[in-house]
């Protein structure tokens, strides 16, 4: 029996599940992931191919099974019939009409576990990228129809190099590794308002993507070049060398040393001020001496 005032302690330990190697496709449109996506009160049926990473989004009024089937047929008419489709277990997919359509075309469908978005992660990452593209476009074209903006977002996504494939989805799908920028296709002698607006949207979106890539590159370079050549510009500079073989009781840096020669490939020749021994070392192994005050100096870390 339970007694009044008796305390019980229970330790809850979540079960550990082993990671499983997921299926790897060998060609485009073997395996698709699909879901619904909503932006600015507009619903879309979104589909991504796991091999090429090609993404598509079809506007739908609601989430009815009829609309899902109509847009799936449109997708199949563009790219052919897949072998398998993965989706969540929403009623817009898990219904008799959709399953009968897929069965008639001999397409297997797999429904993910409820509340386990990792099982449908390709489409989730696709949604995150679309949101970023649409946000950029919306800040510039505030009154434009969201269906039109989605088309530009898809152009940007499918023409961008994917981190896992190192190719654009269009290149993998259609085999063109030197496709031209759509902005280059415009005839400079004649511009309609529609074409001008089209070019303006693409240039704005591409410029933003270019800036982000440049910022990312700069951040990586700046991080790698924290101890770059500009900190070791002159002969006679006092430096300290990292003690890579030290134990916990020894100093992190050895020295002092003096730079006697600036060499190529970020290397310098240094001489130990105490025993006069010379060596060539990469500048990333050095720390400069920074004056902290008039009476003492400290190492730059």
Distance CA 259, CA 271 (A): 7
Q: In this structure, is residue 13 part of a structural domain?
A: no
Looking at the structure, do residues 283 and 169 belong to the same domain, yes or no?
Answer: no
Looking at the structure, do residues 151 and 76 belong to the same domain, yes or no?
Answer: yes
First-last CA distance in the chain = 65
Q: Does the global pTM surpass 0.85?
A: no
**Structural domain that includes position 236:** 229-299
Distance CA 88, CA 49 (A): 16
Looking at the structure, do residues 165 and 195 belong to the same domain, yes or no?
Answer: no
Looking at the structure, do residues 217 and 233 belong to the same domain, yes or no?
Answer: no
What is the count of structural domains for the chain?
A: 3
Domain boundary among 111, 145, 174: 174
Looking at the structure, do residues 87 and 159 belong to the same domain, yes or no?
Answer: yes
Looking at the structure, do residues 139 and 120 belong to the same domain, yes or no?
Answer: yes
Looking at the structure, do residues 155 and 49 belong to the same domain, yes or no?
Answer: yes
Distance of CA 33 to the CA centre of its chain: 18
Looking at the structure, do residues 280 and 166 belong to the same domain, yes or no?
Answer: no
| Among 165, 204, 162, residue whose Cα is nearest residue 183 | 204
Looking at the structure, do residues 134 and 207 belong to the same domain, yes or no?
Answer: no
Looking at the structure, do residues 158 and 211 belong to the same domain, yes or no?
Answer: no
Concatenate the DSSP letters of all residues of 107-154 into one string.
Answer: -EEEEPPTT-GGGGHHHHHHHHHHHHHHHHHHHH-TTS-HHHHHHHHH
Which CATH number do you get for residue 243?
A: 2.30.30.140
Which CATH number do you get for residue 135?
A: 3.30.420.10
Q: Which residues of 142-152 are buried (b: 16+ CB within 10 A; e: fewer)?
A: eeeebeebbeb
- What is the number of residues in the chain? 301
List the pLDDT tens digit at each of the 301 positions of the chain. 444 444 444 443 444 444 444 566 677 899 999 999 999 999 999 999 988 899 999 999 988 999 999 999 999 999 999 999 999 888 999 999 999 999 999 999 998 866 566 667 889 999 999 999 999 999 888 888 999 999 999 999 999 888 877 788 888 887 655 555 555 554 544 445 655 676 677 677 657 656 766 776 677 666 666 544 455 557 888 888 877 666 655 677 788 888 898 887 677 889 998 899 998 887 777 777 654 444 434 444 4
């Amino acid at each position: 029996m339970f007694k009044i005032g008796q305390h019980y302690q229970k330790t809850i330990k979540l079960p550990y599940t082993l990671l499983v190697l997921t299926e790897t496709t060998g060609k485009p449109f073997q395996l698709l992931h699909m879901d619904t996506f909503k932006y600015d009160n507009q619903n879309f049926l979104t589909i991504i191919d796991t091999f090429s990473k090609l993404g598509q989004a079809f506007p739908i009024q609601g989430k009815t099974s009829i609309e899902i089937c109509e847009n799936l047929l449109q997708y199949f008419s563009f790219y052919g019939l897949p072998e398998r489709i993965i989706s969540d277990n929403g009623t817009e997919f898990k219904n008799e009409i959709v399953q009968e359509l897929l069965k008639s075309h001999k397409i297997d469908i797999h429904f993910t576990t409820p509340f386990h978005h990792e099982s449908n992660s390709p489409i989730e990452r696709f949604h995150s990228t679309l949101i970023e593209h649409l946000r950029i476009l919306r800040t510039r074209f505030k009154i434009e129809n969201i269906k039109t903006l989605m088309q530009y977002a898809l152009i940007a996504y499918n023409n961008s190099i994917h981190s896992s494939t190192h190719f654009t989805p269009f290149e993998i799908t259609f085999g063109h590794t030197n496709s031209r920028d759509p902005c280059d296709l415009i005839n400079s002698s004649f511009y309609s308002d529609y074409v001008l607006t089209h070019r303006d949207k693409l240039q704005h979106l591409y410029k933003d993507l270019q800036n982000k890539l440049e910022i990312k590159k700069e951040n990586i370079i700046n991080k790698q070049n924290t101890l770059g050549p500009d900190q070791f510009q002159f002969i006679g500079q006092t430096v300290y060398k990292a003690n890579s073989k030290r134990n916990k009781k020894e100093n992190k840096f050895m020295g002092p040393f003096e730079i006697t020669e600036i060499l190529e490939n970020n290397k310098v020749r240094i001489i130990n001020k105490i025993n006069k021994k010379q060596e060539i070392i990469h500048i990333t192994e050095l720390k400069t001496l920074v004056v902290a005050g008039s009476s003492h100096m400290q190492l730059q870390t």
